[in-house]
Each structure stands twice: as C-alpha cells, then as structure tokens.
Structure 1
Amino acid sequence: MDQSNKAFSEALIKSLRGERGHLPIVNALSDIDAVLAGKRKEELPYSIYQLVKHMIYWQDFLLLFAKGEKPTLPSHVKESWPEEESPSSEEDWQQVIQHFLQGIEQACTIAQTVQLDKPLEKWPGETPGGVLRNIASHNSYHLGEIVLIRRLFSAWPPPTGGYPA
C-alpha cells in the first residue's frame, strides 16, 4: 500500500468509527436499550431503531459494492426504511447493534486491504475509497439524528460522555 493510500485508509477508518468530527459511533449506541430504540414522538419521522436499520441497509448495500459485487438497487428508497418502529426484544436490538458495528469493522478491513483508488468494475466512476467515504458520511449524518432523538428523550449524554475524547 503506497503512502497516500495508507493515509487515506487511516482517515477513512477514523471517519467510519466516528473518531473525527464526533464521538465514536459505538459510544453513541452501546447504552441504548430496546425501549429507547423504539420510542417515537409525533413530530419525529422515525425511531432510533428505524434509523439504525436504515443505516444497516445502506451500509450492507455499499459494502457489497466495495467488495466488487453489484447489489440490486431498491425500486424506491422507502424499501430501506423498516415499517416496525421498535425491536421485538432486547436481544433483537442487541443483534441489530452488533450487525451494524460489524459492518463498520468490515468497512475498516476493506480500507486497510484494498487499493482505495482503483475503479470498481461493477460501479463505473466509483472506487472502494469513495464507497467507504459514502458509508462514513451516511452513518455520520444519521448519527446526528440519533443524538438529537436521545436529547429529546433526555437520554444524552451516554455514560462515555457526549463529546469526542
């Protein structure tokens, strides 16, 4: 891996894990229980659970591209949002969080092991680095919404603190 690819890889990993402009993603999610994950207020378009499931949908989709595969686009973006507002159980919620965090680690592994600027055969004009940057920015965008929802339910900051270390 050349020096510029290594530097980009390290920056992507920090962005994927949330070590740049905000607290680590794991810190913002790890103490949320199934009850909080499913809470809604009338003025909110979705719950934390729905946000995380949506993030997983696109993270998984984009990881397939980063691995050289070509997933099928949904016919409408609504398909990436679950109808259920809350997890069926605490165990279900913990599995959702683990799936999401494992996806972040898969993205970090890709960032460390592939040539990030090599064009993707199945997505002309895109590179693995671009796809991973897209994952990081999409997750960061929705993490901000999760933080705001937590604040609205007086569930902020998490035990680890609400600001980057």
Structure 2
Amino acid sequence: MLESNQAFGEALVKSLIGERGHIPIARALPDITAELAGKRTGEAPYSIYQLLKHMSYWQSFLLTYLEGGKPLMPSHVMDSWPSEEAPENEEEWQAIVQHFLSGIDKACQIARSTQLDESIAHFPTETKAGILRNIASHNSYHLGEIVLLRRINGAWPPPGGGYPV
C-alpha cells in the first residue's frame, strides 16, 4: 500500500472510531441501558435505540458495498428507522451495540488494508475512501444526538469521562 494511501487510511480510522473532535464511539455506547436506550425524551423525534438501529442500518448497507455486494436500496429513507422505540430487553440492546461496534471494526480493517481510491463495483461513482468517509460522518452526526439525549437524561458522562482521549 502506498504511504499516502496508508496515511489517509489511518485518518479515516480516526474518524471512524472518533478522536479529538468527540469521544470515541466505543466509549459512548456500552454503558447505556436498554431502559435509557428506549426512552423518548421531550420533543426528540426518536430514542437512542432508534438512532443506533438507524446508524447500524446504514453502516451495514455501506459495508456491503465495500465487501463487493450490492445492497437493496430502501424504498424510502424512513425504512431505515425502526418503528419500535425500545429494545425488548437488555440482551437485545447489548447485541445491537456489539453489532454496531463490530461494523466499526470492520470498516477500520478495510481502511487499513485496501487501496482507498479504488472505485466500488456496484457503485462506480464512489471510491472505497468515499464510502468509509460517509460511514464516519453519518455515525459522527448521530453520535452527537446520542450524547445530547444522554445529557438531557442525566446519563452523561460515561464511566471514564466524556472527553476525547
């Protein structure tokens, strides 16, 4: 891998996991309980559970492209949001968190091991770097909403603090 590709890949990894600009995503999620995840707060249009399910939907969708597949485009963006507001139980919630974090790990592995300027087979107007950047920015956008909902609910900062490392 070219040195510039490797440097850009590491920059993408930092964006995917979160650093400097915000708390690492893996520190912002695991201590959230199923009860908090399913709580609707004030005028918020969705719960933390719905946010993370939406983030996971699009992350998995975009990872499918990076793995050579062609995901089925939803008929409407609202199809990427769950209608249920809360997980059924703690086990389901923790499985959703782990699935999402595993997707982050997979995206980081791709960023570190692939030629980032290669186009995507089933999305020829996009590059691997572009897809990874999209995952990072979408997750960062919604992570801010999760942090805000946590703060409103008195569940911030997480254990270890709420600042970037």
* TM-score, L = length of structure 1: 0.98
The answer on 1:71 being equivalent to 2:71 is yes
1:36 maps to which residue? Answer: 36
Question: Is contact 2:48-2:149 (8 Å) kept?
Answer: yes
For 1:164 and 1:15, how far apart are their aligned partners in 2? Answer: 12
1:13 maps to which residue? Answer: 13
Following TM superposition, by how much is the alpha carbon of 1:20 offset from its aligned partner in structure 2, in angstroms? 3.7
Matches within 5 A, 1:43-82: 43-82=43-82
Unaligned stretches of 5+ in structure 2?
none
1:104 maps to which residue? Answer: 104
- Kindly provide the CA deviation profile for residues 35-67 of structure 1, in whole angstroms up to 9, marking residues without a partner as x: 000011240100000000000000000001111
- Partner SS, residue 120 of structure 2: coil
Bigger share in strand: 2
User: Over aligned residues, Cα RMSD in angstroms?
Assistant: 0.8
2:159 maps to which residue? Answer: 159
Give the length in aligned residue pairs.
Answer: 165
- Kindly provide the CA deviation profile for residues 123-153 of structure 1, in whole angstroms up to 9, marking residues without a partner as x: 1210111000000000000000000000110
- Partner SS, residue 126 of structure 1: strand
1:136 maps to which residue? Answer: 136
Q: Which runs of 4+ in 1 moved over 2 A?
A: none
Higher deviation after alignment, 52-61 or 33-42: 33-42
